[in-house]
Structure 1
Amino acid sequence: MRVRNIQGEDYVKIHSVLNDWWGGRDMAAMLPKLFFVHFQETSFIIEEEGETLGFLCGFFSQTHKEEAYVHFIGVNPKYRRRGIASTLYSYFFDVARANNRKVVKAITSPVNKKSIQFHREIGFRIEAGDDEIEGVSVHTNYDGNGGSRVLFLKHV
């Protein structure tokens, strides 16, 4: 298993599998190529024998100097529950700490129960929102068009 920083050339292979990895949900539009070009220092990919096991795209907030943000994390369904996402987050936490970032934030959709569970398991807390969906605090219309999101925060 090899972890490395993401490169622009990784975009096509990752973008082509996103919707499949999410069980047919339209996720590809949420991950533009700019993350693979402009945020390589804070984005990672895990590969083994030429196969992509998972990736994380994150960045440092330009506005909130103590914060880092994970925009997208994905794990190949064949390799879930094997520590891939935890490893990716570990690399991101390390680079965040090395750059004096004390807080990491992330979001997910309230329908993504596995993501909510995972983030809680690795120490994220859910930020209080303005509504609840199935007992989980959400921020309504976070992404516009009625898109509620669960917001996570972790001190690193």
Structure 2
Amino acid sequence: MTGPTGKPTVRAARPNDFEPIIAVVDDWWGRPVSVNVSRLFLDHFHDTSLVAETDDGRIVGFVIGFLSPADPDCAYIHFTGVAPEARRTGLARDLYDRFFTVARAAGRTKAKAVTSPLNTRSIAFHEAVGFTVSDPVPDYDGPGLDRVVFRRDL
């Protein structure tokens, strides 16, 4: 659904968004990444995740995020995707801003995320929306799986 400006409508995610998301995310990223979007995230964290869709119900963006159960100050963004045709429109920034609003309303004071040091587009985006970026952390996600850590005060 699109709003009055013709932009996609953003709504809370639902568990049944899992199938449409994994159906497109590998194409959006240009490589296999759907393995990182486990069903459990939309089953258990759909209320803090967001989906952007067109007027015909096609998903063009999403943020899968949750409130950390281990760190009561932290909201965590697990995975984000935006359809290639919707990039550079402000949609990703809007999704993040809406997630930050959800996190603040729940009393969270910081947001975190991680990515591969090779994902330069993600690093540039996160810097542009106010995250600090760590140096690569060797073996963060296991042997040979280095990551950079993003952190932003809310």
Give the TM-score taking structure 2 as reference length. 0.92
Question: 3-state DSSP class of the match of 1:12?
Answer: helix
Q: Which residue of 2 aligns with 1:63?
A: 70
Question: 3-state DSSP class of the match of 1:16?
Answer: helix
Q: Which residue of 2 aligns with 1:153?
A: 151
Kept in 2, the 8 Å contact 1:47–1:54? The answer is yes
Question: 3-state DSSP class of the match of 2:15?
Answer: coil
Kept in 1, the 8 Å contact 2:14–2:47? The answer is no
Q: Which residue of 1 aligns with 2:33?
A: 27
1:120 aligns with 2:127: yes
CA–CA distance in 2 between the matches of 1:41 and 1:8? 9
The letter for the 1-side match of 2:32 is D
Q: Which residue of 1 aligns with 2:140?
A: 142
1:51 aligns with 2:51: no
Q: Say which structure is richer in strand.
A: 1
Q: Note the C-alpha offset of 1:145.
A: 3.0
Q: Which residue of 2 aligns with 1:132?
A: none
The two structures, once aligned, show a CA RMSD in angstroms of 0.9
Q: Say which structure is richer in helix.
A: 2
Q: Which residue of 1 aligns with 2:94?
A: 87
Kept in 1, the 8 Å contact 2:61–2:83? The answer is yes
Equivalenced residues, count: 146
Between 45-54 and 146-155, report the one with greater CA deviation: 45-54
1:73 aligns with 2:80: yes
1:14 aligns with 2:12: no
Cα deviation code 1:53-75 (max 9, x no counterpart): 10000111111110010000000
CA–CA distance in 2 between the matches of 1:111 and 1:95? 29
1:37 aligns with 2:43: yes
CA–CA distance in 2 between the matches of 1:32 and 1:13? 13
Q: Note the C-alpha offset of 1:26.
A: 1.7
For structure 1, which runs of at least 5 residues remain unmatched after alignment? 128-136
Kept in 2, the 8 Å contact 1:53–1:84? The answer is no
For structure 2, which runs of at least 5 residues remain unmatched after alignment? 1-7
Give the TM-score taking structure 1 as reference length. 0.91
CA–CA distance in 2 between the matches of 1:103 and 1:91? 14
Runs of 4+ in 1 over 3 A off after TM superposition: none
Cα deviation code 1:78-105 (max 9, x no counterpart): 1101011101101110011001100000
Question: 3-state DSSP class of the match of 1:86?
Answer: helix
